[in-house]
């Protein structure tokens, strides 16, 4: 039997509108884009023709493809997204980045890149049309996405990693920043220092690390901060890395450093992140140690932790501002700027978690 379905009516095009209004297609386009001078009477005629034909405007996807842009920026987060959403600094960076991209009329495509199988993200992005990719949270030094995206001509921006000539960075001097906190403690008179590091390599357990581990680290930000600590710490100062960036992991690391005989116990602990410092403060309290009277603690990032009960002495690295800087670099790269690095300044904020050593 012949099909009873009728063919769907053809969607009116901009050319159809132009022909009905008696103008050129380019003039009709200017009416819809608002990007050029068109006489009011002509514009009214074009809009009336569009209404008659049921034409609501040019296809935005087709327009973006003709311009070589789709308006989407891939934001690469290493590890499960839930980890980033639990980290107040990561949330601040993503918030600032989203604000900047929104102002530029671009949307974010969040891509969770598995830490143990980073190549899976290549398959995820292979079918996605994106104008740029941002690595906002400083992952590993190498990333299989770089070669894939570079081959496609996709602009790439990072905050210290991946390390590639193709990637422009909003760059914090991690080493100098960590030295600010360490020097502050030395100036207070501390000589027994301990260090809590972020992960130096993927998929590690919380435990002691050495200078050699730092030199073979996969994460540039953690390695840089550890080197800053080693620059000022007395030889043999204990260092512990965490298995994840959480308060709980910081507490576990704090116990490893502080639950030792008094003669070997650090009088101050330098932490690579505020959430880790919060964990060390909790570990000290569980061991009956008062902060800062018996042990001083410093952080890094400057996030808001109102529940902690003390204001951390920390290295201020405003997350929202860093996100804005990343978004602004994306815009400049898409306008033709090359992959250049831009410094991001940090400073020391002295809070109530540090004081001279006991005795």
* Portions of the chain given CATH number 1.10.260: 14-67
How crowded is the C-beta side of 184, counted as CA atoms within 13 Å?
A: 26
Residue appearing with tokens 């935005």: 60
Residue 196: what are its φ and ψ, rounded to 5°?
Answer: -110, 115
The pLDDT tens digits along the chain (359 residues) read: 444 444 445 677 888 888 999 988 878 877 776 656 788 888 889 889 988 888 766 554 444 444 456 789 999 999 888 888 889 999 999 999 999 999 988 999 999 999 889 999 998 888 888 999 999 998 999 999 999 999 889 999 999 999 999 999 999 999 999 999 999 999 999 999 999 999 999 989 999 999 999 999 999 999 999 999 999 999 999 999 999 999 999 999 999 999 999 999 999 999 999 999 999 999 999 999 999 999 999 999 999 999 999 999 999 999 999 999 999 999 999 999 999 999 999 999 999 999 999 98
pTM of the model: 0.81
Domain with CATH 3.40.50.2300 in the chain: 72-172+319-344, 174-317
CATH C-level class of 174-317: alpha beta
3-state secondary structure of 93: helix
Q: CA-to-CA distance for 64 and 243, rounded, in angstroms?
A: 43
Kindly report each contact of residues 58-62 with a partner whose C-beta sits within 8 Å and lies 24 or more positions away, as own/partner.
Answer: 58/14, 58/29, 58/32
pLDDT per residue over 288-341, tens digit each? 999 999 999 999 999 999 999 999 999 999 999 999 999 999 999 999 999 999
**Which CATH code fits 14-67?**
1.10.260
Quick one: CATH architecture of 72-172+319-344? 3-Layer(aba) Sandwich (3.40)
């Amino acid at each position: 039997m012949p099909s009873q379905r009728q063919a769907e009516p053809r969607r009116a095009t901009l050319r159809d509108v132009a022909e009905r209004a008696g103008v050129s297609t380019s003039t009709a386009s200017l009416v819809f884009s608002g990007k050029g001078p068109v006489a009011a009477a002509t514009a009214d005629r074009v809009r009336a023709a569009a209404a008659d034909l049921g034409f609501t405007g040019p296809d935005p996807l087709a327009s973006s493809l003709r311009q070589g842009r789709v308006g989407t920026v891939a934001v690469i987060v290493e590890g499960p997204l839930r980890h980033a959403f639990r980290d107040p600094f990561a949330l601040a960076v993503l918030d600032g980045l989203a604000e900047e991209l929104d102002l530029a009329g671009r949307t974010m495509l969040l891509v969770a890149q598995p830490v143990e199988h980073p190549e899976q993200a290549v398959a995820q992005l292979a079918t996605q049309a994106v104008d740029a990719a941002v690595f906002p949270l400083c992952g590993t030094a190498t990333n299989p996405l770089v070669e894939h995206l570079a081959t496609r001509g996709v602009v790439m921006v990072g905050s210290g990693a991946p390390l590639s000539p193709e990637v422009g960075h909003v760059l914090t001097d991690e080493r100098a920043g960590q030295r600010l906190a360490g020097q502050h403690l030395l100036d207070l008179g501390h000589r027994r220092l301990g260090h809590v590091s972020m992960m130096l390599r993927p998929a590690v357990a919380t435990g002691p690390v050495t200078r050699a581990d730092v030199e073979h680290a996969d994460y540039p930000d953690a390695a840089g901060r550890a080197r800053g600590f080693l620059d000022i710490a007395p030889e043999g100062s204990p260092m512990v890395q965490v298995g994840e960036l959480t308060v709980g992991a910081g507490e576990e690391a704090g116990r490893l450093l502080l639950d030792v005989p008094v003669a070997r116990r650090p009088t101050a602990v330098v932490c690579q992140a505020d959430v880790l410092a919060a964990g060390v403060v909790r570990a000290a309290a569980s061991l009956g140690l008062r902060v800062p009277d018996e042990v001083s603690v410093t952080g890094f990032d400057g996030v808001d932790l109102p529940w902690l009960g003390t204001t951390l002495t920390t290295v201020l690295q405003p997350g929202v501002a860093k996100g804005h800087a990343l978004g602004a670099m994306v815009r400049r790269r898409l306008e033709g700027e090359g992959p250049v690095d831009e410094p991001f300044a940090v400073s020391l904020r002295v809070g109530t978690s540090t004081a001279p050593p006991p005795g």
